[in-house]
Amino acid sequence: MSIRLRLALQYAAIVAVTLLLFSGLVYGFTYYSRSQFFAEALRSRARVVGHVYFDGQQLQTNERHRAAYTRYLRQLYRTLPDEEVRIYDASGRVVFREGQATQRQMPAKWLSTNVQPLLRRDAGWHYTLGLHYRAPNGSRYLVVAWSVDTDSQRQLRTLRGVLGLGLLVAMVMTGIGGWVFAGQALSPMRRAVQEMGSITASDMHRRLSGAEGQDEVSQLARTFNSLLDRLETAFAGQRTFVRDASHELRTPLTVLIGELEVALLQPRTAEGYQQVLRNTLDAARLLKDLANGLLQIARASDDPSQVPLKPLHMDELLLQAHEELQRRHPTCRIDLDFHLPPEAPDALVRGNEALLLSAVLNVLENACKFSRGADQPIMATLHARPGRVLLEVHDRGVGMSEADRQQVFVPFFRADNARGVPGHGIGLPLTHKIMELHHGAIHIQSELGAGTRVLLELPRA
């Protein structure tokens, strides 16, 4: 069932229940008021007949009695449908009868009861009413009146027809109106669905219209446009990554193929073949390092919930990275400085040991590669502050321009003054992703010809 049809049916159901309750209230109030009105009219008829009978039995010497007698007498001209009035004495004998002569029976217990007035309503709007009278001579009498409220029957039948027809017309109009209004309310949603269906991977620049409003559809459009922004950025990054990775992978593969083709062109000496093998091994190692870097970037981009984390001591991790770097670059000098306050001597973080070690190694190795020939050593300072652990690596190397600094986190980007330095441009992008994975940050300050300062910031465990 479509949302439009469901909304129209729900709207019609709400209106139907409301109209039914209102119609029931109107009908019940009318029914009660008509019943009370007719019962009062029948009670008046019984009083009129009783006064006429008892006042007619004695001389009218009292002016007040004479005026009341005349007033009640005039009311005798307003008869009720199927009316019959009887007056019973204490023994149950009929002493007076007025109206139609029928075989109606008076409830026997009415003669002995003192309840006033007595009223019974039977099926078909038949009313029976009784009034007790005490004559001037002290005798007790019972006036019983019968009648049928045909006027109420007719009016309530008409009222039922009017209410039923009105309810039917209201339901039809409500259904049509609900269908139309639901369609108008959902038209922005249909337009958004059509626009969503027309957006493909080749035109990710398109966005949904109608995102300027404040309703729920506009919020959905804004959310979807934000999703498209992230997807477009991810697709662009993926295309750039694949293009640059292909270019970087092609270089060592070209070297490998070239060396092997040259070696096969003519026989060589043992020393010549050894040189070809050394060149081929260097290209293979370069290819291996590049493949490992790509795998590490992919791993650092994984879902954080899938990466195992554990408490780690950053001072021990820094010492481990320093030892590994001295093995790779024996001539590189790195001085370590630990600023750990006595109240918090442990630089404890929560992270993945392999990824954090890779991030620290990348920063230290970059500092070594880009500060060769510098007079001053590289300084690696570890700070432990409330809530944060900071690792600062400061070199006096070639540095970089502000334009290059803003692109160092783009995979495979190489600054102009770094073309002659071995590398692939994946170390800092990998470190940036690792910091994001650990809810940390990396900050870089650099000045061309004056060195670079890299700050790794991680939350304390």
> Do 273 and 391 belong together in one domain?
no
Domain of residue 294: give its range: 216-300
**Reported pTM:** 0.47
> Do 434 and 322 belong together in one domain?
yes
pLDDT at residue 413 in the model: 67
Tens-binned pLDDT, residue by residue, of the chain (461 aa): 677 788 888 888 888 899 899 999 998 999 889 888 888 888 887 887 777 777 666 544 456 665 665 565 555 545 677 788 888 887 888 887 877 777 788 887 887 777 776 888 888 788 888 888 777 777 788 888 888 888 888 888 898 899 999 888 988 888 888 888 888 777 777 777 777 777 776 676 777 776 677 777 777 778 877 887 777 777 776 676 666 566 566 767 777 888 788 778 877 788 877 888 887 887 787 677 667 666 665 665 555 566 677 888 888 888 888 888 888 788 888 888 888 777 666 788 888 887 888 888 888 888 888 787 777 888 899 988 888 889 999 988 888 878 777 777 776 666 665 665 666 667 788 788 888 888 889 998 888 878 889 999 999 87
Are 156 and 70 in contact by the 8 Å Cβ rule? The answer is: no
Omega within 30 of 0 (cis) for the link into 107: no
**Domain end position, chosen among 272, 300, 328:** 300
> Do 372 and 443 belong together in one domain?
yes
What's the total number of domains in the chain? 3
The CATH number given to whatever domain includes residue 378 is 3.30.565.10
pLDDT at residue 59 in the model: 46
> Do 376 and 269 belong together in one domain?
no
In a domain, 243, yes or no: yes
In a domain, 183, yes or no: no
> Do 335 and 453 belong together in one domain?
yes
> Do 296 and 328 belong together in one domain?
no
> Do 7 and 151 belong together in one domain?
yes
Encode 49-108 in three state secondary structure: HHHHHHHHCCCCCCHHHHHHHHHHHHHCCCCCCCCEEEEECCCCCEEEEEECCCCCCCCH
**Domain end position, chosen among 249, 269, 300:** 300
In a domain, 164, yes or no: no
**Domain end position, chosen among 139, 156, 173:** 156
> Do 296 and 311 belong together in one domain?
no
In a domain, 163, yes or no: no
In a domain, 189, yes or no: no
pLDDT at residue 395 in the model: 87
> Do 237 and 366 belong together in one domain?
no
pLDDT at residue 21 in the model: 92
> Do 322 and 341 belong together in one domain?
yes
In a domain, 203, yes or no: no
In a domain, 27, yes or no: yes
The CATH number given to whatever domain includes residue 287 is 1.10.287.130
> Do 334 and 453 belong together in one domain?
yes
> Do 281 and 360 belong together in one domain?
no
